[in-house]
Amino acid sequence: MQSMPAADKPNSSNIKLITPLPTKGKHPNSTESQLLLKIRLMNRLQNSLEVERVLTVFFHEIQTHVTIHGLNYIHKELNINVSVGEQSHHSCNYRLITDNEAVGEITFRRQQRFQEEELAHIESLLGCLVYPLRNALQYQLAVTTALKDALTGAGNRIAFDNAIKRELNICRREKQPLSLLMIDIDHFKNINDSYGHPAGDYILKKTVDCLQYSLRNIDMTFRFGGEEFVVLLSKTDLINAELVAERLRQNIAAMQCHYDGQSIPVTISIGTAMFGEGDSIFCLLERADKALYQAKNQGRNKVCAIA
């Protein structure tokens, strides 16, 4: 593990020093007690493959040796940001690297300034965190990848099946509306035929980027098949779903797509449906599909809804 040393702010008094583990008659800072402490910590850290859980365990364990009020962890590439405890005035941060692999950045916060002895203790305990954290990151990456469409980055069918079950439960329990958009790129075969398959792939990616950019963070986009996508709009009734669908339609039509020096016009058709009482997932999808069929029949680049 390599670490980037702390950047701390001006001191205040009343510094709480490290409280080592009680040991049987030995000096707490002896190598043996340090080793036991690390073994215990590593055992605890290896109990989970969830990044947040690993960090929470580390936060609670480290607290018994060094006073820490808050911990923040960031992995930019994986878009992970975890905070445990409270924000405080003084901080020290470390960049974690193992086997040439970046494992993110961790910041410890507290109200009093960190002392050199404490920083050394934190650094030595961080050595126990790096591998369990790396394993948790790899697990999270594997799970996320398994639920994504490799080409576009949208959720795949497995992700959709999971999401719709979860959203339906929430919608029933909280008596909130739930709407679904079935989206299809118009004349996509012509795009492939006229500009080539790689251009078609590029359009699929651009379309998903534009859909996601145009939606709220909580809305979910899934690739259903070839050039067909589904958007789940939680807590959204049919009227608002139509407004969202119309915004998506307009944004896609205004999207600039250039491939190999050629400009490619793209439009989508959208079928909209809302989950009703006693509805099944199958019925909801069927209504959205019917609405999409109507949009195609009405000349494409259209939004249709079925209540």
Ligand X SMILES: Nc1nc2c(ncn2[C@@H]2O[C@H](COP(=O)(O)OP(=O)(O)OP(=O)(O)O)[C@@H](O)[C@H]2O)c(=O)[nH]1
Residue 201 exposed, middle or buried by CB count within 10 Å (0-12, 13-18, 19+)? middle
The binder of ligand X chosen from 59, 160, 188, 229 (CB under 6 A): 188
* Residue type present at position 263: S
Query: Residue 220 corresponds to which tokens in the numbers above?
Result: 């979910």
Residue 242 is among the residues annotated as catalytic for this protein: no
Asked if residue 264 binds ligand X (CB under 6 A), the reply is: no
The binder of ligand X chosen from 74, 95, 296, 306 (CB under 6 A): 296
Inter-axis angle of helices 188-195 and 197-214, to 10 degrees?
A: 130
Looking up tokens 């006693």, which residue turns up? 278
Query: Residue 53 corresponds to which tokens in the numbers above?
Result: 């859980």
Asked if residue 186 binds ligand X (CB under 6 A), the reply is: yes
The binder of ligand X chosen from 38, 60, 89, 187 (CB under 6 A): 187
Which pairs count as long-range contacts for 195-198, CB under 8 Å and 24+ apart, including other chains?
195/259, 195/260, 195/262, 195/264, 196/260, 198/259
Asked if residue 192 binds ligand X (CB under 6 A), the reply is: yes
Asked if residue 38 binds ligand X (CB under 6 A), the reply is: no
Q: How far apart are CA 74 and CA 38, in angstroms?
A: 24
Residue 54 exposed, middle or buried by CB count within 10 Å (0-12, 13-18, 19+)? buried
Cross-strand bridge partners of residue 262:
259
**φ/ψ (deg, to 5) at 100:** 65, 15
Stretch of residues binding ligand X (CB under 6 A), selected from 30-38, 99-107, 167-175, 187-195: 187-195
Stretch of residues binding ligand X (CB under 6 A), selected from 8-16, 81-89, 93-101, 194-202: 194-202
Q: Which residue is nearest to ligand X (CB)?
A: 200
Of 226 and 276, which CB lies nearer to ligand X in the complex structure?
A: 226
The binder of ligand X chosen from 181, 185, 266, 285 (CB under 6 A): 185
Out of 227, 228, 242, 246, the active site residue is 227
Looking up tokens 């020096």, which residue turns up? 261
Stretch of residues binding ligand X (CB under 6 A), selected from 11-19, 32-40, 55-63, 180-188: 180-188
Asked if residue 156 binds ligand X (CB under 6 A), the reply is: no
Asked if residue 83 binds ligand X (CB under 6 A), the reply is: no
Question: Hey, which residues between 217 and 256 contact ligand X (CB under 6 A)?
Answer: 226-227
Of 279 and 286, which CB lies nearer to ligand X in the complex structure?
A: 286
Residues forming contacts to ligand X in the complex (CB under 6 A) are 151, 184-189, 192, 197, 200-201, 204, 226-227, 296, 300
Catalytic site positions = 227
